[in-house]
Amino acid sequence: MSRIVHKFTRKVPHWQPRVTPVKLEEATEEQLDALQVTPSNTKVSDYVLTLAHDVESLKVRSPLFNAIMYDPGGMSRAERELGAIGASMVNRCIYCAAVHADRHAKLEKDTSVTEELFAKGEKADLNPRNRAIFDFARKLSESPVDATPEDMAGLREAGLSDEEILDLILSAALFGWANRLMHVLGDPVRHEVPA
Amino acid sequence: MSIFDSTTLKAAGIAMGPVAAAAETRAKIMEATQAAENAVLSPRDPGAFPHDLRAALAARLATAGGEPALAAHYLDRAGAMAALADPMQDGVAEGFGTVVAFFDKAANRTRDIAAEDIAALQEAGISDADIVRLCELCAFMAYQLRVVAGLRLMKGEAA
């Protein structure tokens, strides 16, 4: 038995596709290449197998994702995760929010920020820098026209450099993308062990 | 190609100054963003969605998202599908009513999407591969629109 998860959580659920993923044994050469399947790496998630239906997009998406979230310089990794969490909460992508809240907590070695966010949403009690980052990510995610010059000024007042602001824009925008795949193409589920 | 010739930086009006300097530190990301645009707007295998329809849907989102320069870039490529670039058109006359309704909801009311929305596409005869293609186009556009909007705000602030 499995049930759909509707509440934000740091405990990462299972992702169940709403469409039929590509079957690995039926994948084309181009799909196998994009999936990076090798004889020593044959474990591919249902999510990636679903995206393999559009192999041209999948191939360019992974390097872009990794560069935005992990390339050195600019904003800290934890703060990029906060941008991702802001977008994922707006779009109610329970799966993305869980993965990135878990990463944020591990990077910060502290669960308090994500606990506060999941409990109180936009009314969460955050320090001024996290407040400015989360608010900007949230508004940009609601609609590209919702973020204002005042929100941008807030980022500068909180001490963010141009490079950091660019990384925040990129990480929040990237989850505008990721949420529209994860939340749209599948359900976050928890498998229940029968009693 | 210079990153300043990419659709994203051109639509945001970024060519020089502190925002351009910040963008140069992320040149690899700007190049990958253009590669992603090419993959969703003009793929070799377009499935059920030809390039002109993709461009029209992209222009539609850019218009609804308040980015006229980005909308104009895509409208130029929309050809016979240009009517769908208007967010007020429902696409029924062109035979894309179900597609357009889903696209708008996934783009602008993402949180409200449920399993029934995907089932409706399947019932309309749209293949799973085409559903994924449609979501990738919608998702990429949501990303690009927000990067353009964010860069424009940065430029206003830095000017």
> What residues does each domain of chain B span?
3-158
Residue A29: exposure state from Cβ atoms within 10 A (0-12, 13-18, ≥19): exposed
* Annotated domain spans of chain A: 2-68+186-191, 73-180
Average pLDDT over residues B98-109: 97
Q: Of chain B residues 61-80, which have a CB less than 8 A from chain A?
A: 65-67
Query: Cβ of A166 and B145 within 8 Å?
Result: no
Q: How far is CA B29 from CA A38, A43, B40, in A?
A: 26, 27, 16
- What is the CATH class of B3-158? mainly alpha
Q: Is A135 on the interface with B (CB under 8 A)?
A: no
Taking contacts as CB-CB distances below 8 angstroms, the residues of chain B near A160 are none
Q: Is A119 on the interface with B (CB under 8 A)?
A: no
Give me the numbers of helices (H) and strands (E) for chain A, helices first please.
9, 3
Report the range of poorest mean pLDDT among A33-47, A84-98, A134-148. A33-47
CATH architecture assignment, domain A73-180: Up-down Bundle (1.20)
pLDDT at B143 over 90: yes
Is ipTM strictly over 0.90? yes
Q: What local confidence, expressed as pLDDT, does residue A194 receive?
A: 67
Taking contacts as CB-CB distances below 8 angstroms, the residues of chain B near A150 are none
Average pLDDT over residues A112-117: 97
- Token duo for residue B51: 């390039």
pLDDT at B106 over 90: yes
pLDDT at B159 over 80: no
Query: Cβ of B22 and A165 within 8 Å?
Result: yes
Contacts for A115 with CB less than 8 Å, ≥ 6 apart: none
d(C-alpha A140, C-alpha A144), whole Å: 5
| A193: confidence class by pLDDT, cuts 50, 70, 90 | confident
Contacts for A21 with CB less than 8 Å, ≥ 6 apart: A46, A49, A50, A52, A53
Q: What local confidence, expressed as pLDDT, does residue B158 receive?
A: 43
| A195: confidence class by pLDDT, cuts 50, 70, 90 | low
